[in-house]
Amino acid sequence: MSDTKDDNLHAQRDDRVIEEIIELQREFYFEKKGRQTERRQRLRQLIERSIGSEGDK
């Protein structure tokens, strides 16, 4: 039961992070074309923020 609950929480978090990643891509696609380094830097920050320091338990 608790495994299913964890899976659901992970799936919800994945959905949210994917949505944020696409938003980031959209921002750079339309407004900041060609700024790959900055975009990837922002993606790293987004992943760090989403996963936290303890990781994916």
Site residues (CB under 8 A) for another protein?
Answer: 14, 17-19, 21-23, 25-26, 28-31, 33, 39-40, 43-44, 47-48, 50-51, 53-56
Distance between CA atoms of 39 and 57, rounded to whole angstroms? 27
User: Which one-letter DSSP state was computed for residue 32?
Assistant: S
Distance between CA atoms of 28 and 37, rounded to whole angstroms? 11
Distance between CA atoms of 51 and 17, rounded to whole angstroms? 10
Q: State which residue, 4 or 35, has the beta carbon closest to another protein.
A: 35
The CB-of-25 to another protein minimum distance in angstroms stands at 4
The CB-of-17 to another protein minimum distance in angstroms stands at 6
